[in-house]
Amino acid sequence: MAPTYALAVDLGGTKVEAALVDDLGGVLTSSRHRSPTGPTASSDQLAAAVTSAVGAALAGLPADGQLVGAGIGSAGPIAVANGTVSPLNLPAWRGYPLGDLVDGLVPDVPVRVRLDGLCITLAEHWLGAGQGTDSLMGMVVSTGVGGGLILGGRTVSGPSGNAGHIGHIEVGGFDDRCACGGIGCLEAVASGPRTVAWARGQGWTGSTGEELSTSYAAGDPVAVAAVRRCGRAIGQAIASATNLVDLDIVAIGGGFAQVTPDLFDFVREAVNERSVFEFARRVRVVPSGLSGDGPLIGAAALIHRADLVA
């Protein structure tokens, strides 16, 4: 039989990435391409970035390979009913028909659009840290903070497709203003750029998450305080989510989640402090088991593991 591939597309606040992924979850490395996005990009520039990354990925389809669908993981919010996206960190796109754009590039195969956090969750359930668990949340801590849910062995999207978007849960004790209009949203406190901004406001002189990681490793007190603050906010949000839906595992990926392994200790401490209920304290908070491949594997799972997708 001919090998089957899904086109996987991951749209975020700084880049769009596309690749072909086989039905075992293997990313075809030669097909992997990315293009920059960013908050200052125009709608036409964003569309061109997606078209470029998708076209380059499709050009890598092996001669004996069969394309069976396209899965798109996008920063939210989204509208699952019509495949439109309105990523908070890409202001040029509000209600943009991303599903239709990709459908025009891959006619005659199904195209599915879901939150990037939900795709991460699917990936962790399929091949990552959530294997064998039917009650889990996947999280992305990067330019933004996203999440997704699998409960009872199936994804939970909600009517609009935005269920599980933990980045806009408000966490107690924080008054950071969020671009969504809220105050104290997890994304406004714990995303990479906002954690860096908080550190700079305390006198730290670096400018990137990578530099913050280096400063943390060197014991810089402001960097340590910034990472601890980030972890406390994430832990409080996870405790609230676990009290609501009774999670077994939360798997966290994304670039800023790798700032230091200690971040996970701070998260777990906050979970334990936030809840006295044993069922909530038992949740396991673990790093993603899939490194940088998780978002693409999860987008492909929208096609290859369609039986799990609500």
Q: Give the model confidence (pLDDT) of 132-174 as tens digits.
A: 999 999 998 988 898 999 999 999 999 999 999 999 999 999 9
Are residues 86 and 171 both part of a single domain? no
Q: Give the tens place of pLDDT for each residue, 12-47.
A: 888 999 999 999 999 999 999 999 999 999 999 999
Where a domain ends, among 57, 90, 114? Answer: 114
* Beta carbons of 74 and 98 less than 8 angstroms apart: yes
Q: Which domain holds residue 155?
A: 129-289
Are residues 108 and 63 both part of a single domain? yes
Are residues 24 and 103 both part of a single domain? yes
Residue 280: what pLDDT?
A: 79
Where a domain ends, among 114, 145, 166? Answer: 114
Residue 102: what pLDDT?
A: 97
Q: How confident is the model at residue 176 (pLDDT cuts 50, 70, 90)?
A: very high
Residue 279: what pLDDT?
A: 80
Are residues 276 and 219 both part of a single domain? yes
Q: Which residues contact 306 (CB under 8 A, 6 or more apart)?
A: 112
Tokens (6 digits) for 301 = 């799972």
User: Which percentage of the chain shows pLDDT scores above 70?
Assistant: 100
Are residues 148 and 284 both part of a single domain? yes
Residue 298 lies in a domain: no
Are residues 106 and 157 both part of a single domain? no
Q: Global pTM?
A: 0.89
Are residues 95 and 159 both part of a single domain? no
Q: How confident is the model at residue 89 (pLDDT cuts 50, 70, 90)?
A: confident
| Phi, psi angle pair for 100, to nearest 5° | -65, -40
Q: Which residues contact 205 (CB under 8 A, 6 or more apart)?
A: none
Q: Give the tens place of pLDDT for each residue, 54-84.
A: 999 999 999 999 999 999 999 889 999 999 9
- Name which residue leads in pLDDT, 308 or 286: 286
Residue 155 lies in a domain: yes
Q: Give the tens place of pLDDT for each residue, 228-263.
A: 999 999 999 999 999 999 999 999 998 899 999 999
Residue 119 lies in a domain: no
Tokens (6 digits) for 78 = 């989204």
User: Which percentage of the chain shows pLDDT scores above 90?
Assistant: 86
Residue 310 lies in a domain: no
Residue 307 lies in a domain: no
Residue 11: what pLDDT?
A: 95
Where a domain ends, among 57, 82, 114? Answer: 114
The number of domains in the chain is 2
CATH of the domain at 244: 3.30.420.40
